[in-house]
Structure 1
């Protein structure tokens, strides 16, 4: 059953197991250092469809299919799927998962959606409301640029603090099993707004939320960064990661040895023009469901903190001059 620990953290006493996972990545992502870890690489940005948005829906379905295959599960055995993306009304998820016929609950946490969906899927299994649950998250560079910034045809100049939205998706299948890679704890973040309004500086907007959530988790669980093999953020990039270090060290917490960021892991910034690093729902999702899960299988890590961060903006709010509030959700994933 679910148990509250401290002010903000949930413990999963039965610790649902991630029984299967699947990842999909695009052409640019395959040119980075994680190519060999992705289950499927889509070299056509349209994935055989008419639009980028339709392609993103395909990514979700393909990631879920691989997760089902790896967990030896049929779609009709899954009790519910929690899924989200960056598109208006989460059409990447609803259109992409419709064919599976699985009871569906749409999620939106901006780029924190993978952590949010994983928490919800684990809670469904832990509570007994589902025997098997799934989570899926995706993003697409071209569809995100069109929605949040400028269509690619404009040829807009990107600032040094800008990040490259990852074209990719990730999916997990959760079951109640005695052994495996499990979800042990989770901290649901609170919305933070420190006045950042630059849509091309997502790292600065999201770092305060990441710092707050991590500090809450460490306080609630009475643990320290040294207790974990890795502390992985979703898509802070270079700017956001440096800001996170500064914010935490101001409070006496140093995570430099344990920390890595999915937005820095997925691209080779020395020869890929991604400026501050990767971002997007698909960034944390595809890295978690490829490299990180592979590290678990190979015994490289046994106990990590996975913390995806999201900028809670929209084209409407940005157009009206509003600040960019942020959120960060944390999941403790370990071997049991």
Structure 2
């Protein structure tokens, strides 16, 4: 195991050459743009079709724009980017793949359900730390209407939503990682295990994903020797109000009280009561836009120094649900750190 000297503990890698997140772009739909974090998003669509014929094409256009805008902000061109790591919720990664066909960058498609943003950041960071790339884009998207059509019921059906249900975020987030620049750096990557505690209710994804979030956070602490107080923010991806409560309680049983620093992206992107989003938000675009928008800009201002992003995913499909299968969960974590004592230039 001498060659695995960067591995710490069971599931975590400490990066010797932490890549910097030098630029980000966040694009959201009208509902997200009417929520509490609206001032932190770069682009707010006036309608969720974004001028396209279908919701699926709208999601592709968001992904494409987020990637292109991020590269342009950095003053780079497509040929300067070594890899594009991207994923979404649709079959065959349709949004990411169709966006990538119009972008001249080597493409790696990823599926981790709603954990995909941390997965893409983590894999991009690992390949950069290994010396295999200088510039990598990590991106993720989701769309409420496209996800409803694929995983539940078309909107025209008019089905009632459970109180436990969450609202899939319409949004896309992209970030450019590079070795240069004084910007927030990815320092640790903790890869999660699939956890399944027998939840079969597709409306209760927070409960299905919470055990995976707990396991990954616990493993990160065990592997690194860190504790909740070492972070300004510990953010799960989209557990919503139900999953967030479960996660807090289960981690207490392991001896970790994260209540003072714990935020769930799915619990803060909407005003749940005013916007009638039940338990909160879901979708891999959720942690993508909250991280690329809200958290990243807070870090640049020096208001957040250490962030542990734990994107969470429900590894279900319509086929497995119809076959009576339970919902496996996964969570991946990346530690992002920024020294605000150094000169800071804006995104």
TM-score bracket, shorter-length normalisation = over 0.9
SS of the aligned residue for 1:203 comes to: helix
Provide the residue aligned with 2:235 in structure 1. Answer: 232
Normalised TM-score (structure 1): 0.98
Most deviating of 81-90 and 58-67: 58-67
Superposition deviation, residue 178 in structure 1: 5.9
Provide the residue aligned with 2:313 in structure 1. Answer: 310
Residues 203-237 of structure 1: per-residue CA shift (max 9 Å, x gap): 00000000000000000111110011000110000
Provide the residue aligned with 2:344 in structure 1. Answer: none
Supply the distance in 2 between the matched residues of 1:181 and 1:304 (Cα, whole angstroms).
Answer: 10
**Pairing partner for 1:248 from 239, 251, 263:** 251
**Pairing partner for 1:217 from 214, 217, 220:** 220
| Contact kept in structure 1, 2:22 and 2:181, CA below 8 Å | no
SS of the aligned residue for 1:270 comes to: helix
Supply the distance in 1 between the matched residues of 2:65 and 2:251 (Cα, whole angstroms).
Answer: 38
Which consecutive unaligned segments of at least 5 residues does structure 2 have? 340-347
Q: Report 1:9-158 matches (<5 A).
A: 9-158=12-161
CA RMSD of aligned residues (A): 1.1
SS of the aligned residue for 2:273 comes to: coil
Most deviating of 263-272 and 80-89: 263-272
Provide the residue aligned with 2:193 in structure 1. Answer: 190
Residues 257-287 of structure 1: per-residue CA shift (max 9 Å, x gap): 1000111111011311100000101000011
Most deviating of 60-69 and 113-122: 60-69
Supply the distance in 2 between the matched residues of 1:226 and 1:23 (Cα, whole angstroms).
Answer: 28
Supply the distance in 2 between the matched residues of 1:207 and 1:153 (Cα, whole angstroms).
Answer: 31
| Contact kept in structure 2, 1:27 and 1:41, CA below 8 Å | yes
Matched, 1:276 2:253: no
Residues 4-31 of structure 1: per-residue CA shift (max 9 Å, x gap): 0111100111100011110000000011
| Contact kept in structure 2, 1:164 and 1:279, CA below 8 Å | yes
Supply the distance in 2 between the matched residues of 1:7 and 1:155 (Cα, whole angstroms).
Answer: 46
Structure 1 moving runs of 4+ over 4 Å:
none
Paired residues in the alignment total 336
SS of the aligned residue for 1:100 comes to: coil
Residues 137-185 of structure 1: per-residue CA shift (max 9 Å, x gap): 0000000000000000001100010000000010011111263200000
User: Against the structure 1 CA distance between its residues 147 and 47, is the aligned structure 2 distance closer, same or farther, given a 3 Å change threshold?
Assistant: same
SS of the aligned residue for 1:99 comes to: coil
Supply the distance in 2 between the matched residues of 1:178 and 1:272 (Cα, whole angstroms).
Answer: 39
Q: Report 1:318-333 matches (<5 A).
A: 318-333=321-336
| Contact kept in structure 2, 1:17 and 1:180, CA below 8 Å | yes
| Contact kept in structure 2, 1:83 and 1:136, CA below 8 Å | yes
Superposition deviation, residue 136 in structure 1: 0.8
Supply the distance in 2 between the matched residues of 1:46 and 1:184 (Cα, whole angstroms).
Answer: 37
Normalised TM-score (structure 2): 0.95
Supply the distance in 2 between the matched residues of 1:20 and 1:248 (Cα, whole angstroms).
Answer: 33
Superposition deviation, residue 2 in structure 1: 7.3
| Contact kept in structure 1, 2:124 and 2:136, CA below 8 Å | yes
User: Against the structure 1 CA distance between its residues 2 and 66, is the aligned structure 2 distance closer, same or farther, given a 3 Å change threshold?
Assistant: farther
| Contact kept in structure 2, 1:39 and 1:66, CA below 8 Å | no
| Contact kept in structure 2, 1:57 and 1:97, CA below 8 Å | no
User: Against the structure 1 CA distance between its residues 158 and 206, is the aligned structure 2 distance closer, same or farther, given a 3 Å change threshold?
Assistant: same
Most deviating of 323-332 and 117-126: 117-126
Superposition deviation, residue 318 in structure 1: 0.5
Provide the residue aligned with 1:199 in structure 2. Answer: 202
Supply the distance in 2 between the matched residues of 1:178 and 1:293 (Cα, whole angstroms).
Answer: 15
Superposition deviation, residue 125 in structure 1: 1.3
SS of the aligned residue for 1:137 comes to: strand
